[in-house]
Chain A
Amino acid sequence: MTQSTDAEIISLDPARRRAREGGGTARCREVVAEGRRCRNHAGPSGYCRVHEPEDADPPPAPTSLDDVAQERREADIDAAIEQALAFLRRRITGEYETDVFGFDRDLTEQVLLPLARPLYRKYWRVRTVGMEHVPAEGGALVVANHSGTLPFDAIMTKVALLDDHPAHRHLRELAADLALRLPFVGPLARKSGSTLAHGDDAHRLLANGELVGVWPEGFKGVGKLYRDRYKLQRFGRGGFVGVALRAQVPIIPVAIVGAEEIYPMLANVRWLARLGGFPYFPITAQFPLLGPLGIVPLPSKWVIDFGEPIDTAQYGPEAADDPMLVFELTDRVRDTIQQMLYRNLTGRRSVFF
């Protein structure tokens, strides 16, 4: 891997940029004891400061800007290949870390988010508003509306907070038990940072200073019909408010616009849903009419609007046991999100642009 030190072209892709700035996995190439790679971040030579070879040849001076760009591209490809190989090695030997909930940062950042990113940037062209309302550190509960037949809105919110928040925060979603039950989906949800929507789990995450995401409409939200698409469903039983109060963290209301149109759900075949044990069985504009192609979502234009935090500290943790206050706050959060949703809808030029 050769890199120029005189001039360089800096990629604006946040993922690459983070990798450059040391958040990625460009590690030193030196091999230390037991055949393991040195874990330090690599400098321009591909080695860390400790293992920097003294007689390393200085990189050849580039002659023109075109050369620099060319060299930079090659270096990028080299780095990508090296990263991919290192990732593969960690997977084959099992040398990666997870937290006790099962969050696998390595897998999430190296594989899952790169898969979701093109959808975020290119397909749905997600624009974020009010990111400054999300704290850079400490626990907070992100509460958002749910729609779209399949919960892509949760995945996009995750990408938004990791890529577009200055502190690059990982959102830990609270998932329904039915999702965690599914083969492939369940383990992937856990590995990407989700855990069960249960007071214990949520409290533990918030107390650890994590950013927790919840979609209180649940299946009633994702599985809402197209004609109800902008109408928020009941916000569960307000469990999320109790959790935020107990953990004394702010509630950040979030309105997601655009997810409503990705799979316009025209009907819900209840008997088929009951038969298969699904929460709903959708007939969408694409499915089952287009067969397997029905899985392709429509390219709507999205906005994710992060609203002003609702403070819980003023009530104290014991307020979690006051049902009237919990109801009141639940309604307030729901109303806030509904208003944010309407506001963003009126400012929208078209569903797709």
Chain B
Amino acid sequence: MAEEGGRRVLLTGLAGVLAGRLAARLEADEGVDYIAGVDLREPRHDLTRTEFVRADLRSPLVAKVVESTGVDTIVHLAVTATPRRAGGRARMKEHNVIGTMQLFGAGQKAPALRKVVVKSTTAVYGSSYADPALFREDAAPEVANQSGYGKDAADVEGYARAFGRRRGDVTLTILRFANFIGPTVETPLTSYLALPVVPTVLGFDPRLQLCHEDDAVEVLYRSVRGDRGGIYNVAGPGMVYLSQAIRLTGRVPMPVPLPFVNATAGLVRRTGGVDFSPEQLRLLMYGRVGDISRLRDRFGYEPAYSTKEALAAFIASGRAHPVIDRDTVARVERQMVDFLNAEAR
């Protein structure tokens, strides 16, 4: 894209951790003239030149903001993954889907708009035993088999693509992120791994893929500043088994037989504060890993953190204090070896 003057960027969902960090990153960039952020909640980040617009995405105010500020870039981050934060599944869907429709409706009438970046999720691929080990971006999202966040994200992508077809002059970038993890970001997965005893589904051990928050911010930033349209899976290379992730975090796994899984999930939702939705339970059975070769080859980004390193960064943040400490395990092992050797002599 030609750099005619500075960029004018509108972020939705500004109160989120990623949006806040992206805004800070854009503030530090002299090539960005103007940053506005829409959200209902007040952002808690230290932002200086970002303008905060307190509004619901569904309100007509958003169209006015888009029009009056003459933004050339919209970064749509306001798709909520968790029903609790949105105030129930119905409101979550309303907010995610209708909000997106309104936003793209407003964007269609904005002549200055040149770029739209949409945060999506690999949850659009669903999670099943009949899928290849790695999802490629051209694997069609199975909206029919989806529920919850994955379905919302697939719907949002659908509106984004329809918008892209109507406005061929706008570069559309859809980023399908794996589960976020890192020192500060809070997701159902991070609170799940922070449970002292982590319930798992007996007989299943899903492959998980994680995305470090730094990589997420960097890819979002490069999508805003660069000119790479298309759909990309964004995640750290490699995978980690859920059982392994629990062990690395120093937690104790508690396998729950399948018939009791829903009851356990309900219990954890109420007492443990983990906002785990039913479709995420499928993730705990069959897992999901996306193919990131397109991110590397076409987008030109090599994630700084592999899936395991991202997990390690979360562990190092000390939010999940290990119940089983790795030094203790190593010491016990050493003592046992020494003891057995002494016995043998």
Q: Do A and B come from one complex?
A: yes
**Chain B: CB-nearest residue to A203:** B132
Give CA–CA (A95, B207) in the complex, Å: 16
Give CA–CA (A82, B334) in the complex, Å: 9
Task: Tell yes or no: A94 within 8 A of B by CB.
Answer: yes
Give CA–CA (A95, B241) in the complex, Å: 11
CB pair B136–A102 under 8 Å, yes or no, is no
Task: Tell yes or no: A39 within 8 A of B by CB.
Answer: no
- Smallest Cβ distance from B78 to chain A, in angstroms? 31
- Smallest Cβ distance from B61 to chain A, in angstroms? 45
Task: Tell yes or no: A349 within 8 A of B by CB.
Answer: no
CB pair A35–B326 under 8 Å, yes or no, is yes
Give CA–CA (A101, B207) in the complex, Å: 8
Give CA–CA (A29, B334) in the complex, Å: 9
* A88 neighbours in B (Cβ, 8 Å): 333
Which of A132-140, A183-191, A215-223 lines the interface with chain B? A183-191
* B336 neighbours in A (Cβ, 8 Å): 85
User: What number of B residues sit within 8 Å (CB to CB) of A?
Assistant: 41
CB pair A186–B245 under 8 Å, yes or no, is no
* B249 neighbours in A (Cβ, 8 Å): 94
CB pair B133–A98 under 8 Å, yes or no, is no
Give CA–CA (A267, B279) in the complex, Å: 40
CB pair B129–A96 under 8 Å, yes or no, is no
CB pair A187–B133 under 8 Å, yes or no, is no
* B250 neighbours in A (Cβ, 8 Å): 93
Task: Tell yes or no: B4 within 8 A of A by CB.
Answer: no
CB pair A187–B329 under 8 Å, yes or no, is no
CB pair A92–B324 under 8 Å, yes or no, is yes
Q: A196 touches which one: B133, B203, B240 (CB < 8 A)?
A: B133
* B247 neighbours in A (Cβ, 8 Å): 91-94
Give CA–CA (A307, B336) in the complex, Å: 49
Which of B84-92, B163-171, B175-183, B337-345 lines the interface with chain A? B337-345
Task: Tell yes or no: B330 within 8 A of A by CB.
Answer: yes
Q: A94 touches which one: B201, B237, B248, B337 (CB < 8 A)?
A: B248
Task: Tell yes or no: A237 within 8 A of B by CB.
Answer: no
CB pair A78–B333 under 8 Å, yes or no, is no
* A81 neighbours in B (Cβ, 8 Å): 337, 340
* B134 neighbours in A (Cβ, 8 Å): 100, 200-201, 204
CB pair A102–B333 under 8 Å, yes or no, is no
CB pair B204–A196 under 8 Å, yes or no, is no
* B333 neighbours in A (Cβ, 8 Å): 85-86, 88-89
User: What number of A residues sit within 8 Å (CB to CB) of B?
Assistant: 42
Give CA–CA (A347, B344) in the complex, Å: 51
Most B Cβ at <10 Å: residue of A1, A31, A92, A182:
A92
* A101 neighbours in B (Cβ, 8 Å): 133
**Chain A: CB-nearest residue to B249:** A94
Task: Tell yes or no: A37 within 8 A of B by CB.
Answer: yes
A1-24 with Cβ < 8 A to chain B: 1
Q: B326 touches which one: A93, A184, A195 (CB < 8 A)?
A: A93
CB pair A102–B340 under 8 Å, yes or no, is no
Q: A190 touches which one: B207, B324, B344 (CB < 8 A)?
A: B207
CB pair B330–A78 under 8 Å, yes or no, is no
**Chain A: CB-nearest residue to B207:** A102
Task: Tell yes or no: B66 within 8 A of A by CB.
Answer: no
Give CA–CA (A195, B205) in the complex, Å: 14
* A183 neighbours in B (Cβ, 8 Å): 201-204, 258
* B240 neighbours in A (Cβ, 8 Å): 98
Give CA–CA (A143, B329) in the complex, Å: 44
CB pair A29–B337 under 8 Å, yes or no, is yes
Give CA–CA (A312, B251) in the complex, Å: 49
CB pair A1–B326 under 8 Å, yes or no, is no
* A198 neighbours in B (Cβ, 8 Å): 131-132
Task: Tell yes or no: A67 within 8 A of B by CB.
Answer: no
- Smallest Cβ distance from A173 to chain B, in angstroms? 13
**Chain A: CB-nearest residue to B136:** A200
* A31 neighbours in B (Cβ, 8 Å): 330, 334
Q: What are the interface flags for B103-133 relative to A under an 8 Å C-beta threshold, 1 for contact and 0 otherwise? A: 0000000000000000000000000011111
CB pair B248–A196 under 8 Å, yes or no, is no
B254-277 with Cβ < 8 A to chain A: 258
CB pair A186–B204 under 8 Å, yes or no, is yes
Task: Tell yes or no: A180 within 8 A of B by CB.
Answer: yes
**Chain B: CB-nearest residue to A75:** B344
CB pair A35–B341 under 8 Å, yes or no, is no
* B334 neighbours in A (Cβ, 8 Å): 31
Give CA–CA (A86, B333) in the complex, Å: 7
- Smallest Cβ distance from B303 to chain A, in angstroms? 14
Task: Tell yes or no: B244 within 8 A of A by CB.
Answer: yes
CB pair B132–A196 under 8 Å, yes or no, is yes
CB pair A201–B132 under 8 Å, yes or no, is yes
A71-110 with Cβ < 8 A to chain B: 74, 78, 81-82, 85-86, 88-89, 91-96, 98, 100-102, 104
Give CA–CA (A216, B294) in the complex, Å: 31
A85-B336, A100-B134, A201-B133 as given contacts; A37 in contact with B241, CB under 8 Å: no
Other 17 A-B pairs with CB < 8 A, given A89-B333, A100-B238, A201-B134: A29-B337, A35-B327, A82-B340, A85-B333, A89-B330, A92-B247, A93-B326, A93-B329, A94-B243, A94-B247, A95-B326, A98-B239, A100-B207, A183-B202, A184-B203, A187-B204, A201-B133
* 19 sample A-B contacts, Cβ–Cβ < 8 Å, listed by A number: A35-B327, A35-B330, A78-B344, A82-B337, A89-B329, A94-B249, A98-B241, A102-B133, A177-B129, A183-B201, A183-B204, A183-B258, A186-B129, A187-B203, A191-B241, A195-B133, A196-B132, A200-B133, A200-B134
